[in-house]
Structure 1
Amino acid sequence: MAVNPVFNRIDQEAARGQYAGFGNAPSGYGAPPQGQPQIPAQGGYPGPSETLSNEQLRDMYSQAPAGPAQTGRVTLDDVVVKALMLFAIVLAVTGATWFFVGAQPQIAMPVWLLGMFGSLGLSFAIGFSKSVNVPLILVHAVLQGLFLGAVSVTFNAAYPGVVTTAVVATMATFAGMFIGWKAGFIKVSSKSRRIFGMMAMGYLVFLLINLGAGFLGFGDGWGVYGGPLGIVISLFGVGLASYSLAVDFDSIDRAVRGGAPEKYSWLLGHGLVASLVWLYIEFLRLFSILQRN
């Protein structure tokens, strides 16, 4: 989320006070002539000879002002609904993959790698896309479900109970980060976003290198995590993933307050679910290392 160019655009447009054309009147339509209030014509803008009666004026002023939903802007409800939809897809695919891979352990690794590298590639495609691509976001949720299902059933077979512990820790951390951010204890600024973005990209490079080392047998297949620094690095990963949630909360708040287009709700929901998945994986690795030791 923090390194997503789309969110950089959100911040820039929020600073200018507009999103994707909001606040810009079409050319050719100026202020209504003075002296007589006008009623909108068929095209939606004041006509040259239509006036309002006193009764029509009273009806107009008694109406509630248009809210974000009526003007096509994103609302918190939009983000929550989209996030729940994506989360439901991830959970459904995770459950199906768990039972499918659990009956055929030999296919766990191919499914695991497909979900991991597929979702990683789509993450960059979604992040660097100039528009919000809903089909890619939906496919990304499916790939995340494949990855979660395969990795979870594999780890749970080797370390019984670790999945349940990781799920509880993830939900508790999500609630704690939201309360901390909402109460102002956890701050998100432009500087902290930049620092977090650089650290997250560096950590991603480390994970990919460590994955290659694990395939080569280093650290009994765990790579650096198999050594004495494994727990420390895992705790660092948990911290990064946790702060990613705070960045998501702040991005959602900025988008809603700034009046971003409703389509951004898909991107915001996608980022929130992706951070939850990242946090769960970090907890899964941490508790597996603790149980292994």
Structure 2
Amino acid sequence: MSVFGLRTSNPAFNRFFWKKQYSSNSKAKMSVGGIILKSLLMLCLVVATASYTWHLFFNAVTTKWYTAIGMFVAIFYSLFISFKHSAAKYLLPIYALAKGFFLGGISAIAHQRFPNLPFQAIGVTLVTFFVMLLLYKWKLIRVTRKFRAIIITATASIFMFYFIGWILRFIGINVPYLWGTSWFAIGFNVIAAIIASFSLLLDFYYIDKQVGRYPKEREWLATWGLLITLVWLYVEVLRLMKKLAIRF
């Protein structure tokens, strides 16, 4: 079952990626080890530029443009990769570096107001990742077609809300349920964080089903998909913890 042409909430794992293509002559196939290695390398790039932006911020250098440009560059390259999958191995490092500038900027702002909050959010993100992995491996949560359809629909709805919210904020209209600290806004953030967590299960499912069947270069696309979900989860956790800190 698909929604908006997707078979998972993550754009990296859509029907164009997972359609049957068995004509490749490549002997090397996708492997879990290869995806883990590439994911770690990309996370190192994210940490590198995030640390640089963090350093600039706490040395009284304006990082607004680093954060904004990093966000838009990451979005641009992510969209490009979604349409041109073969470019993932070349563009993913640029995406990771750009995302690091963005994450470094928002994390530094959060840390300035609430010391150590970003580190706590990183901890929660990592714990959530491994909990979801164990839940998937132990089959405590089964990724059925109905489950996938629910997560896909919820993810599409959340990103539509964010898109509309960003447009309205750009023209000067504030959307309290997205950016405020009301209980409704906190509840929305909780739901978004939960959906982001469940999206990891869908990513594990599709990687598990395709490892050993697709060419090894497809590991770059799988890495991109996991990186998108992890970054989304971290941002949701950071925003939620920040709202709770302001509230209490």
Common fold: TM-score over 0.5: yes
- TM-superposed deviation, 1:244: 1.5
CA distance in 2, matches of 1:241, 1:11: 21
- TM-superposed deviation, 1:172: 0.8
Which among 142, 160, 163 is matched to residue 208 of structure 1? 163
Which among 17, 34, 39 is matched to residue 83 of structure 1? 39
Residue deviations 1:97-136, cap 9 Å, x none? 110122235x333222222222122222211225343221
CA distance in 2, matches of 1:72, 1:276: 27
> Hey, which of these two has a bigger chunk of helix by percent?
2
Which amino acid is 1:282 matched to?
Answer: E
CA distance in 2, matches of 1:124, 1:240: 21
Tell me how many residue pairs correspond in the alignment: 239
CA distance in 2, matches of 1:223, 1:126: 28
- Give yes or no for the alignment of 1:235 onto 2:235: no
CA distance in 2, matches of 1:154, 1:187: 38
* Distance change in 2, residues 1:171/1:3 (3 Å): closer
Q: TM-score, normalised by structure 2?
A: 0.86
Structure with larger RCO (C-alpha < 8 A, sep 6+): 2
Alignment of 1:244-283 (within 5 A): 244-257=199-212, 259-283=213-237
Aligned partner of residue 160 in structure 1, secondary structure: coil
Which amino acid is 2:42 matched to?
Answer: L
CA distance in 1, matches of 2:175, 2:183: 10
CA distance in 2, matches of 1:197, 1:226: 26
- For the pair shown, which has the larger CA radius of gyration, 1 or 2? 1
Checking the alignment, whether the CA contact within 8 Å between 2:165 and 2:175 is kept in structure 1 is: no
- TM-superposed deviation, 1:195: 3.3
Residue deviations 1:157-184, cap 9 Å, x none? 1222211211111111011000001111
In structure 2, list runs of 5 or more residues that go unmatched: 1-7
- TM-superposed deviation, 1:145: 0.3
Which amino acid is 2:166 matched to?
Answer: L
CA distance in 2, matches of 1:183, 1:98: 38
Match of 2:3 in 1: none
Match of 1:9 in 2: 16
Q: TM-score, normalised by structure 1?
A: 0.74
CA distance in 1, matches of 2:111, 2:173: 21
- Give yes or no for the alignment of 1:195 onto 2:145: no
Alignment of 1:114-125 (within 5 A): 114-125=69-80
Root-mean-square deviation over aligned CA pairs: 2.4
Residue deviations 1:47-87, cap 9 Å, x none? xxxxxxxxxxxxxxxxxxxxxxx822111111111111111
CA distance in 2, matches of 1:251, 1:7: 10
Checking the alignment, whether the CA contact within 8 Å between 2:181 and 2:246 is kept in structure 1 is: no
